[in-house]
Amino acid sequence: MKRVLLLVAASSSALFAAGPAATAAANAAANTAAPAVFHRPAIHDRTPTSAGWSSSNWSGYAKTGTYTSATAQWVVPSVGATSGASYSSAWVGIDGFNNSSLIQTGTESDYYSGAAHYNAWWEILPAAETPISSISVHPGDVMTASISKVSGSTWSITITDKTNNQSFTTQQNYTGAGTSVEWIEEAPTVGGRVATLAHYSSPDTFDPGTANGGNPGLTAADSGAMVQKRAQVSTPSAPDSDTDGFNMSYGSAAPAPPGT
């Protein structure tokens, strides 16, 4: 994911004419504006880890095959303060694990400009995420989401905040191959680079999830850890006993799976 400032500043001549106070206000606004976020395909290298694969930007579970629908439920994690900006996204999606297409929806838990920020979004590559202003996301909220093919190249994206009883649905054109399905904690791309992963609260529970309307049958080989600067920073648990969910933990220690 990549974040690009969406704020359009006034011209330099206009700021000069308005004086130092206007210039300071514009600079302050620029420093707190939410940058655009991009969710990118996994940069996985199949390096043996405590999980089945590793990536600099993804952690969680991914399966390959042919998929036309996926669902997920997760709890929005809180994020702690960091010395610099840090970002994390929890989402469900189709494609992106073994190709450069991706359709997805999820939530942001980020820390920048001295504060934590939370929101819901949807995205189809190569565009940036589209924030969903009609849903007010808070740490601890229970989210459900679905990605499903309607017909032809028409797909439906739905995300619901069950805690706040707020929901959003959109239908979009998507022509990806549908060859993977994912439930992911991601470090997005911001400013053209994979961001530092936010220190999200653990465990972060993804449970239950479905693929093609049924139990995804998660296995340990489907799981992946995130490695940044040679350190494992996000680690999934083993699948739960009914193979449709897992926990995520910040750091290198795998959490226990959720109860069923």
pLDDT of residue 10: 29
- Reply yes or no: is the peptide bond before residue 48 cis, omega within 30 of 0: no
Where does 78-114 show beta strands of DSSP type E?
89-94, 103-112
Q: How many CB atoms lie within 10 A of CB 125?
A: 20
**Would you write out the chain's pLDDT as a tens digit for each of its 260 residues?**
433 322 222 222 232 233 443 333 333 333 345 677 888 888 766 555 556 899 999 999 999 999 999 999 999 999 999 999 999 999 999 999 999 999 999 999 999 999 999 999 999 999 999 999 999 999 999 999 999 999 999 999 999 999 999 999 999 999 999 999 999 999 999 999 999 999 999 999 999 999 999 999 999 999 999 999 999 999 999 999 999 999 999 999 999 999 86
Q: What long-range pairs does 27-33 form, CB within 8 A, spacing at least 24?
A: 30/5, 31/113, 32/113, 33/5, 33/6, 33/7
- Reply yes or no: is the peptide bond before residue 203 cis, omega within 30 of 0: yes
Query: Pick from 150, 3, 182: which is nearest to 86 by CA?
Result: 3
Domains of the chain: 41-250 (2.60.120.700)
Enter the pTM of the model: 0.85
- 246: Cβ contacts below 8 Å, ≥ 6 apart: 60, 61, 183, 205, 206, 207, 218, 223, 236, 237, 238, 239, 240, 257, 258
**Structure tokens, 102:** 């991706």
DSSP 8-state symbol, 219: -
